[in-house]
Structures are given as C-alpha cells and as structure tokens.
Amino acid sequence: MAFDIAVKRVYEPPAKADGQRVLVDRIWPRGVAKKDAALTLWLKEIAPSEALRKWFGHKPERWAGFQKRYRAELDVNKEAVAQLRDLLREGKVTLLYGAHDEVHNNAVALAAYLEAQANC
C-alpha cells in the first residue's frame, strides 16, 4: 500500500491540500506561532536523536550517513513510526520541518523511509 506523503517547510502557509500536518522536528521552529502552524500533531519523538542531529549539522556531505543512522533509529522507534503510519492510513500527511535545506533534512529522510516500508 502506497502512502500519500508530502514534505514541506513549516514556514510555508498551510493549505487544504496538505491533509494532516505533522511537525517532525524535536525542537519547535523559531518564529512560528503554534496557531499559525495549523498542526494535526507535533511528533517530536520521531525526530532524529539529539546526538544524530548534532553530528549531521545539515552538512550535505554527511547526508548518506545521516539517512543510514536515522533509518536505524526509526527501526527501533516502533511506537512513533506506528503513530505516523496510522495517520497515513487515514489519508494524506504532510511532514513539516524547519530546516533551511529542502533536500537534506529529517522530513525528507523520514518520507523516504516510510515509502520504502510501504513498498515492502
């Protein structure tokens, strides 16, 4: 079963097409009011560990290593992953993140992880 997953910066305005909006960062994004984020859920438990986040430092040259390590964390974070899968079974989910880099961030890695698992 394929999931309908989108990835979007939390700083972009909410849209009806977003479906359920889930913030997947451990730290609340600077300058965003909670009411303006229009979240369905803040699932900080699914974010990369503090140690992994600091190691990665949003350095593109560490992207492959980050994805591998993050997947390993997700493999043992069954409760948070199951919570997100339950939302995905209800319909479209937009994973929200605060990073500047739109290609190398945990929401992109998480979406790829979920899509790969859905295709197994």
pLDDT in tens, 19-31: 999 999 999 999 9
In this prediction the pTM is: 0.95
70-93 confidence digits (pLDDT tens): 999 999 999 999 999 999 999 999
> What's the gap between Cα 38 and its chain centre?
16
| Rounded Cα gap, residues 13 and 112, in angstroms | 23
Q: Domain locations in the chain?
A: 5-118
- Residue 82, H or E segment: helix 78-90
Which residues face 97 on adjacent strands? 9
Which residues face 94 on adjacent strands? 6, 21
Q: Which two tokens stand for residue 78?
A: 């069954």
